[in-house]
Structure 1
Amino acid sequence: MTKQAAPSSTASPLSTPTLRRRLACWLYEGVLLFGVVFVASLLFSVVTQTRHGLQNRPELQAFLFLLLGLYFTWCWTHSHTLPMRTWHIRIQGPDGRPPSPGRALRRYLLSWIWLLPPLAAGSLFGLQGGPLLALTLGWIACWAALSWLHPKRQFWHDAWAGTELVFDPSQPTKAGRSRKA
């Protein structure tokens, strides 16, 4: 008996995850990164013998920026981070494969658009505390909503980096089982 390939017309391409799913993944990523940044900052402080929170601050920020860049670049070249895997989101390049290291690094740099504009405005206008938080959350909401203007509903930093997020329900979950949606 010969095996027949399924017609390509029945194969549906992977869809863009909903905005709600992507933001939930983003929030989960933030929770995990809190721990990563905490431990990395502690190790940095021990190694550099930092005795005060403002001591070595630019060096710590540069260290964390590089560490996060390495983390995201490595994870994205392997299709996903842990939160992305949990929410069945995969990142891919234009060819449908995981992005190259250069493309993943470009996405990492462009993804800072989520935070840099409100932080720069806050610094320029001397905002702190509640007003800075409100500005940041407002910007995040606006930036996320702008994805509705993209033809595939992707975030614009993904479009500029040449990557896209796709909902992949066939990704293995706990114990190697696949979830069917």
Structure 2
Amino acid sequence: MPAMEYCTLPRRLAAIVYDALLIIALWMAATAIVVVVRQAEVGTASLAFQLYLMIVAWLYLAVCWRAGQTLGMKAWRIRLVADSQPVLWRSTLIRFATALASWAMFGLGFAWSLFHPQRATWHDLASGTRLITLPRTRSKTTQENHAQDHDQQRRQQQR
């Protein structure tokens, strides 16, 4: 069995970009719900509204992390691993809060992964989780084509 390959910072950041786009879409839908219910616009300076949006983002990430991958992580073949599977709700909250703190400190917690032997960030360390890179797998089409080629070769040898 091959050794676990820990996720690199560029791959991690690429997945974050994908997930950020999805979170923005979720925030738009969440905002629309509030506007429809209140039948009035929402002040973005409202602390309660900002907290609501943070909860929406955390819920998306927490549900996905408990399953092992966000959509961005799936696209970049990254998986979240922890000692307890699924990842505990408490660990997702710690991971989320520490990641926010890391961003607030100009990404220093992410840069930490460049020097850590397991490429761990502050939020990995705080939550007891790690991101690993999954191996490449053949696509179904490639597998089917390979199987068809193999069948054709076998038929030709039988003739």
What range is the shorter-chain TM-score in? 0.7 to 0.9
Give, as a single letter, the amino acid of the residue that structure 2 aligns with 1:106.
Answer: I
CA–CA separation in structure 2 for the residues paired with 1:105 and 1:160? 10
Deviations 1:92-122 (A, max 9, x none): 1036x442222222212221123334xxxxx
CA–CA separation in structure 2 for the residues paired with 1:25 and 1:174? 23
CA–CA separation in structure 2 for the residues paired with 1:75 and 1:172? 24
Q: Residues 24-39 of structure 1 correspond to what in structure 2 (within 5 A)?
A: 24-39=14-29
Aligned match of 1:78: 67
Alpha-carbon distance change, 69 to 93 in structure 1, aligned in 2, over 3 angstroms: same
Work out whether 1:67 is the aligned partner of 2:56: yes
Aligned match of 1:114: 102
CA–CA separation in structure 1 for the residues paired with 2:90 and 2:118? 23
Q: How many residues are treated as equivalent by the alignment?
A: 142
RMSD of aligned residue pairs (Cα, Å): 2.5
CA–CA separation in structure 1 for the residues paired with 2:136 and 2:3? 13
Deviation at 1:172?
9.2
1:150, 1:156 within 8 Å by CA — same for their partners in 2?
no
Deviations 1:20-75 (A, max 9, x none): 11111111111111111111112112212333x52772221121121222211111
Give, as a single letter, the amino acid of the residue that structure 2 aligns with 1:100.
Answer: L
State the secondary structure of the residue aligned to 2:20: helix
Q: Which ranges of structure 2 fall in alignment gaps of 5 or more residues? A: 144-159
Q: Which ranges of structure 1 fall in alignment gaps of 5 or more residues? A: 1-10, 118-138
Among all aligned residue pairs of Structure 1 and Structure 2, give the percentage whose two residues are the same amino acid: 28
CA–CA separation in structure 2 for the residues paired with 1:174 and 1:45? 44
CA–CA separation in structure 2 for the residues paired with 1:151 and 1:12? 18
State the secondary structure of the residue aligned to 2:6: coil
Work out whether 1:164 is the aligned partner of 2:130: yes
Give, as a single letter, the amino acid of the residue that structure 2 aligns with 1:168.
Answer: L
CA–CA separation in structure 1 for the residues paired with 2:138 and 2:91? 25
State the secondary structure of the residue aligned to 2:97: helix
Alpha-carbon distance change, 83 to 43 in structure 1, aligned in 2, over 3 angstroms: same
Alpha-carbon distance change, 162 to 144 in structure 1, aligned in 2, over 3 angstroms: same
Task: Please identify the structure whose Cα radius of gyration is greater.
Answer: 2
Give, as a single letter, the amino acid of the residue that structure 1 aligns with 2:57.
Answer: L
Aligned match of 2:93: 105
Work out whether 1:12 is the aligned partner of 2:2: yes
1:92, 1:164 within 8 Å by CA — same for their partners in 2?
yes
Q: Which structure has greater helix proportion?
A: 2
CA–CA separation in structure 2 for the residues paired with 1:71 and 1:173? 28
Aligned match of 1:50: 40
Give the TM-score normalised by the residue count of structure 1.
0.68
1:16, 1:152 within 8 Å by CA — same for their partners in 2?
yes
